[in-house]
Amino acid sequence: MLSYILPFLFLILVVVFIHEYGHYYFARKYGVGVTDFSIGFGKEIFGWNDKSGTRWKICWIPLGGYVKFFGDRNVFSQADQEKILEKYNENDRQKLFVLKPLYQRALIVFGGPLANFLLALVIFFSIYTFVGKDFTPAVINEVQKDSPAMVGGLKQNDIILEIDGNKVESIMDVSKFITMSTADLIDFKVKRSYDELLLKIKPKVILSEDNLGNKINKRIVGIKLGAYNNEINHVKLGPAQAIYHAVNEVYYVSISSLKYVGGMIMGKADTSQLGGPIRIAKISGQVAEFGILAFISMMAYISISLGLVNLFPIPMLDGGHLMLYAFEKILGRPLSQKTQEGFFRIGLFLLLSLMFFTTFNDLKDLGLLS
């Protein structure tokens, strides 16, 4: 159990700290007072005050964090704007978040998700620069009899060039692109002799195990891959190439995640694969056993997920704040306090529902529920 908890706590500590520091950085840049910088919720374990008056602290419940601004009456940056003008003098008003120009408030809110995307970029850039990236072309060594691949027309010795419009740069991309696909048919672009063919394959979904032994519903097409000419091509990249591929990886993961969420909303995606803190803790411990590189890579993917989820237009999340700012821009004034509180109640209900659903999936994954 400890082997799961410690990697999970380290992972959460890093990605949450980076997220909250994004908010903190832009808040300080625009002169907003920050009273609290907290990793976790609930009772404080330990903390300290810096020279600007910010309380930096670690709290008992490590499932998130927050930056509380000067003048806010709660951690969701709610404040009674009318009362603020009466409560604070001119000097203190300069430090109030709610009185800053709209674009500054939007940047402060967007700073958290932005920091998560930047963390993932730095991780991928570092891996591609110092460890390298695989560019081994994917060749089909075997097409299983009566499999979706055979039915769809894939053949032995086909070189896979693209899957669903995504360029296959490495043999490792094939499994990733098949797994992340959500459509009923997967488009395969292959090279056969001197011809390029576009084939549509209908994958089969089977109950399987991932590389860590976790039960998953896996999409398979029935092919076995090998390296082109049996040569592995793993190279360290220069800065320009490394940043290009890092940006491409962050973009791909973000778009694929959005497609998955869209698929869930439309009832097409497999919701049983949606996990919460328990599953993340379990996988964190399993991945950590594979070494630091695998663990750091997972941290990048979790950071992207955190940044992306926080941009959803759900009140209480960063995206919810940005949605309210969009209304403010259109109307020329902030929404009334009562309206904003109504939105926050809806957001709280949605987040609690999501938390219940993911925890239910986590408990099923652990075999505690049937």
Known active-site residue 20 = yes
Residue 184 DSSP one-character state? S
Measured between alpha carbons, how far is 21 from 39 in angstroms, rounded to an integer? 10
Options 20, 44, 289, 341, the catalytic residue? 20
CA angle centred on 199, ends 193 and 203, rounded to 5°: 125
Q: Decide: helix, strand or coil at residue 187.
A: strand
Q: Which residues make Cβ contacts (< 8 Å) with residue 322, sequence separation at least 6?
A: 106, 109, 110, 311, 313
Q: Which residues make Cβ contacts (< 8 Å) with residue 318, sequence separation at least 6?
A: 109, 110, 112, 113, 310, 311
Contact (Cβ atoms closer than 8 angstroms) between residue 293 and residue 127: yes
Short-list 41, 66, 37, CA closest to 53: 37
The per-residue DSSP string of 211-226 comes to: TTS-EEEEEE--EEEE
List the catalytic residues: 20
